[in-house]
């Protein structure tokens, strides 16, 4: 297999694990021949290995050891300034024909992609170490658990994969003698944006990523496997991989309800997943628990006919700016130890800071580029997309069923974007098909920081547009097909925390007060709350919604939130044309019918 070159065994620091089957060993040997690393290190996922890799990273300058009294077990990483976010324009779905990729993805012929990236990978790890990272996405023993093996020359990636996945020897046991594992090949290359590609081969269950060390491009178990590849596998195998949070709501009587929800970026998905109820609700005995903050895999239980869900990840790869003790106290607790901070600001005492962490900025810091920073410098101290990677076990409200292979039963699904008008605070879909229409037309307004323009509505079906691993029209059809498997499907809702008044102020207080919306949602899922019919869906009456204790929010405010102007709704429908035109010719007929029904109701 390898001729006139050192073999895999010769290059390995230790012998390959006995549990690694011959399919794995053959594939790794092929990639060793292609990439030609000096050494191969087999990761076992142990605590001792983590400490060893972190110490090595400090010695090599990959990590900076933070103040261990303030942040025990925490380290800092600074990435290349040209490599700080996902590169959507360089992310490809690689298939024999472009119709499999669809109109919303970048497509590359799979043979061309292998040839193009093969030249980049050839000899790319000379003088470097290849880390073999075996991992499992999903609880061990779950019907949806998937095994992947990532080969990477990034020490940062190896350590982070240990946080975000069930990494190590457990993967070999889960895989057994099977050939069904995702082949993940990654190299940071020269970090040259002109030589950067993130390629997915759904028909081969393979991911090749070159030229980036950023999490979304390099932690291949996350968006690449758990959404793009998994969404394709789910379509083939009859389950769903979604860009959603998953939370549990426990009533004072002990009744537990699980809700999942899709929110585009900058809409507070992580904050919502870790919501702290207002004091009034806490005193009554309400509790919120977090199953997951970003990705959910769902399937229909054959016995009950109900939808069940798992969180495939084991950590949080969250955005730091804006995270603080008010917006998300549970996230702040989660990142207090054993966390990797990336591209935040470094303080003189070995602590970290980012915009929004405290009301007052520090007097001085080292910014995310490594330069001295003071508040009057005029540039952010932390990159706007700076991150933390934290083990989910740190979360003080982690749900006890997070490792249950049987997952949790889903009673409700939320779709929420950032909309300053039109969309009410909350309403319920009439049925599953109507709910899919709501999710398919989900939109969120851009911010000046992102695009230079404000208020531009960007359509993001199910908050999945960048992550659908195949044709988006087939993806929507799959949502309709899933309904046919269910005896009792979850109730579906639209929510919007971001409505503004004429002066540009948010009408709804948000944050912990979103618990009031959740209470109505749970009561509707349980069949004990009233609603009235509107053109958009079922909406809560004033009598059905708890406003007690909201001194600055009046019944008139509630009525204004729940009663959009019909002319605004009509303009909203016209703005959906952009999405429909993009999917034109292949749009599922159910979407067209739901649009016509809404027009008739208006």
User: Which residues are marked as active site?
Assistant: 267
Is 148 annotated to bind ligand?
no
Beta bridge partners of 146: 137
The helix (H) or strand (E) run that includes residue 17 is none
The three-state secondary structure class of 339 is coil
Assess contact for 382 and 354: CB atoms under 8 A. yes
Q: With contact defined as beta carbons under 8 Å apart, do 196 and 87 qualify?
A: yes
Number of residues assigned to the chain: 602
Q: Is 294 annotated as a binding residue?
A: yes
Q: Residue 434, annotated ligand binder?
A: no
Give CA separation, 36 vs 22, 30, 569, 593, in Å: 20, 10, 59, 56
Q: What is the 3-state secondary structure (H, E, C) of 93-109?
A: EEECCHHHHCCCCEEEE
Query: How far is Cα 219 from Cα 209, in angstroms, rounded to an integer?
Result: 10
Burial class (CB in 10 A: 0-12, 13-18, 19+), 450: middle
Tell me: is residue 511 an annotated ligand-binding position.
yes
Which ranges of 169-265 would DSSP assign to H, the alpha helix? 169-175, 215-218, 230-237
Q: Is 214 assigned a ligand-binding role in the annotation?
A: yes
Residue 514, marked binder: yes
Listed residue (307, 265, 324, 261) closest to 518, CA to CA:
261
Strand, coil or helix: what is 174?
helix
The reply to whether 387 sits in an annotated binding site is yes
**Residue 364 annotated as binding site:** no
Give DSSP secondary structure letters for 440-488: HT-EEE--HHHHS-SS-EEE-GGG-TTT--S-HHHHHHHHHHHHHH-SS
- Give the closest residue to 197 by CA, choosing from 286, 86, 296, 294: 86
Identify whether the C-beta of residue 252 lies closer than 8 Å to the C-beta of residue 286.
Answer: yes
Is 324 within any annotated ligand binding site? no
Burial class (CB in 10 A: 0-12, 13-18, 19+), 376: exposed
Binding site annotation covers 512? yes
Please, what is the Cα angle at 213 between 265 and 417, to 5 degrees?
5
516 is in an annotated binding site: no
- Quickly list DSSP for 508-556: S--GGGHHHHHHHHHHHHTT----EE-SSSEE--GGGS--TT-TT--HH
Q: Is 268 annotated as a binding residue?
A: yes
Q: CA angle 289-297-520, nearest 5°? A: 45
Is 243:222 a contact under the CB 8 Å cutoff?
no
* CA-based nearest residue to 185, from 206, 211, 214: 206
Tell me if 386 is assigned to a ligand binding site. yes
In Å, how far from its chain's centre is CA 567? Answer: 35
DSSP-based helix, strand, coil % in the chain, nearest 5: 35, 20, 45
* 86 annotated among ligand-binding-site residues: yes
The answer to whether 336 is annotated as binding is no
369 marked as part of a ligand binding site: no
Feature table: binding site: 86, 214-216, 223, 243, 265-271, 294, 385-387, 418, 511-514
Feature table: binding site for substrate: 86, 214-216, 265, 385-387
Feature table: binding site for Mn(2+): 223, 243, 294
Feature table: binding site for GTP: 266-271, 387, 418, 511-514
């Amino acid at each position: 297999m390898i001729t006139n070159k050192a073999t895999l065994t010769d290059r390995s620091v230790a012998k390959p694990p006995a549990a690694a089957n011959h399919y794995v060993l053959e594939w790794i040997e092929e990639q060793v021949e292609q990439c030609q690393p000096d050494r191969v290190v087999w990761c076992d996922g142990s605590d001792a290995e983590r400490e060893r890799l972190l110490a090595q990273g400090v010695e090599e300058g990959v990590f900076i050891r933070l103040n261990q009294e303030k942040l025990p077990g925490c380290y800092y990483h600074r990435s290349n300034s040209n490599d700080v976010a996902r590169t959507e324009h360089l992310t490809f779905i690689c298939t024999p024909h472009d119709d499999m990729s669809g109109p919303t993805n970048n497509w590359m012929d799979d043979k061309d992609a292998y040839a193009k990236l093969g030249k980049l990978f050839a000899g790319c790890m000379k003088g470097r170490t290849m880390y073999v990272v075996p991992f499992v996405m999903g609880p061990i023993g779950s019907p949806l658990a998937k095994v992947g093996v990532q080969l990477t020359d990034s020490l940062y990636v190896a350590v982070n994969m240990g946080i975000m996945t069930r990494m190590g020897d457990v993967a070999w046991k889960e895989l057994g003698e099977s050939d069904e594992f995702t082949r993940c090949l990654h190299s940071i290359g020269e970090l040259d944006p002109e030589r950067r590609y993130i390629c997915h081969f759904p028909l081969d269950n393979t991911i090749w990523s070159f030229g980036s060390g950023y999490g979304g491009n390099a932690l291949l178990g996350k968006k690449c496997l758990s959404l793009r590849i998994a969404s394709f596998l789910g379509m083939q195998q009859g389950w769903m991989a979604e860009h959603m949070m998953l939370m549990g709501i426990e009533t004072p009587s002990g009744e537990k309800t699980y809700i999942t929800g899709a929110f585009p970026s900058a809409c507070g998905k992580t904050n919502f997943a870790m919501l702290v109820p207002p004091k009034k609700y806490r005193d009554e005995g309400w509790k919120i628990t977090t199953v997951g903050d970003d990705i959910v895999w769902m399937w229909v239980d054959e016995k009950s006919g109900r939808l069940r869900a798992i969180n495939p990840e084991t950590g949080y790869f969250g955005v730091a700016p804006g995270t603080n003790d008010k917006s998300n106290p549970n996230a702040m607790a989660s990142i207090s130890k054993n966390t990797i901070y990336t591209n935040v600001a470094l303080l003189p005492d070995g602590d970290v800071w980012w915009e929004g962490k405290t009301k007052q900025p520090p007097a001085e810091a080292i910014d995310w580029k490594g330069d001295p920073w003071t508040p009057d410098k005029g540039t952010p101290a932390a990159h706007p997309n700076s991150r933390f990677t934290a083990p989910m076990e740190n979360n003080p409200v982690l749900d006890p069923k997070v490792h249950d292979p049987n997952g949790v039963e889903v009673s409700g699904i939320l779709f929420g974007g950032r909309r300053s008008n039109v969309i009410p605070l909350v309403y319920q879909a009439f049925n599953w098909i109507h709910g899919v229409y709501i999710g398919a037309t989900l939109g969120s307004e851009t911010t000046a920081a992102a695009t230079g323009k404000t208020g531009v509505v960007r359509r993001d079906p199910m908050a999945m547009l960048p992550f659908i691993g195949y044709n988006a029209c087939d993806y929507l059809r799959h949502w309709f097909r899933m309904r046919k498997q269910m005896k009792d499907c979850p109730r579906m809702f639209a929510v919007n925390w971001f409505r503004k008044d004429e002066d540009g102020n948010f009408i709804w207080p948000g944050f912990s007060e979103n618990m009031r919306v959740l209470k109505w949602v749970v009561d509707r899922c349980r069949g004990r709350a009233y609603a009235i019919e509107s053109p958009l869906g079922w909406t809560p009456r004033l009598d059905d919604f708890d406003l007690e204790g909201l001194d600055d929010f009046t019944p008139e405010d509630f009525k204004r939130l729940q009663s959009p102007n019909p002319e605004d709704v009509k303009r909203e429908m016209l703005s959906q044309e952009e999405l429909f035109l993009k999917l034109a010719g292949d749009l599922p007929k159910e979407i067209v019918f739901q649009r016509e029904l809404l027009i008739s109701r208006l």
